Structure 1
Amino acid sequence: MTKTTARIAFKAPLLRPAEPKGATWSFLVLPTAASAKLPARSMTSVEGTFAGQPFQATLEPDGQGSHWLKVEKGLRESAGVDVGDTVALEIAPMAVEPEPTVPADLRKALNENPAAKALWSELTAVARRDWIHWITSGKKAETRERRIATTCDKLACGQRRACCFDRSGIYSKAFSAPVAAAE
């Protein structure tokens, strides 16, 4: 598998998600050959062009060894493409991983735990993103609350990474591309 930091050009069909109903966003799944050129099977931030329009985004793993891209309505409209169109993209991994948005409940918990907050501030953007994803991937509010408490405890004890977290989704099925709506 050849990894690159050069531009990766490909085409993919733009799809509408089956859930949630009435979603304004769309998505596409990268061809396996394009995804294989990325530096990781996990979340990867890229910049490039979508039908000629510049964009930056974080690709999500699809759990099958590839990635998918969530396309917001504004990008789709500015590119002049519709769901069902095949779209040309050129992407490259970002040189610097963007800082993730810290959810308010996690931010509050970190502020209440100085030792956890101190280590949090030393983590890489990728490590912070992994912790956030692990927390927010819980389906129930109780799970999220428990994971926030666990995160703070582990950070306070010096643990820098979310343990046993399959960043690709291949083994844990934690990641998958949305299911496309029947058109």
Structure 2
Amino acid sequence: MITNNVPAGVVHDLPDDICRELTNHTTAMSIWCDITPLARNEWICWVEDAKKEITRSKRVARLVSDLQNGKRRPCCWPGCPHR
């Protein structure tokens, strides 16, 4: 699925907070569009797995930072159980 021309994952829709942050950071957006749908799925699931809103906010910020630093998947994440 694509939200506002921002591609999502395989089984996860793109949440508004992730979409908003990606559209505000061109380097992260460029890498996001270049990674595979499975990799995007992993990032989305990792963010959505947060139990507290503060943790989720930190994960969204880290997603952008990690993408800008060349990471293509979340570190230390066992993987999305939903695929």
TM-score (norm 2): 0.81
Change (3 A) 1:123 1:99: farther
Identify which of 88, 99, 116 aligns with 2:28.
116
Alignment check: 8 A CA contact 1:127 1:161 kept: yes
- 2-structure distance, mates of 1:119, 1:147: 17
Give the secondary structure class of the aligned counterpart of 2:63: helix
Change (3 A) 1:165 1:98: closer
2:65 is aligned with 1:153: yes
Residue 145 of structure 1 and its aligned partner are, at CA, apart by 0.3
Unpaired runs of 5+ residues, structure 1, are 1-96, 169-174, 176-183
Q: Which has the higher contact order (CA 8 A, sep 6+)?
A: 2
Report the counterpart of residue 107 of structure 1 in structure 2.
19
- 1-structure distance, mates of 2:17, 2:76: 23
Moved over 6 A (4+): none
Give the counterpart letter for 1:120 in structure 2.
W
Query: More helix per residue: 1 or 2?
Result: 2
- 2-structure distance, mates of 1:142, 1:98: 26
Alignment check: 8 A CA contact 2:10 2:41 kept: no
Aligned length: 73
Residue 100 of structure 1 and its aligned partner are, at CA, apart by 3.6
Give the counterpart letter for 2:43 in structure 1.
W
Change (3 A) 1:101 1:165: same
Unpaired runs of 5+ residues, structure 2, are 1-8
Q: How does 1:121-136 map to 2 (within 5 A)?
A: 121-136=33-48
Query: More strand per residue: 1 or 2?
Result: 1
- 1-structure distance, mates of 2:12, 2:26: 20
Identity %: 32
Give the counterpart letter for 2:61 in structure 1.
A
2:49 is aligned with 1:137: yes
TM-score (norm 1): 0.38
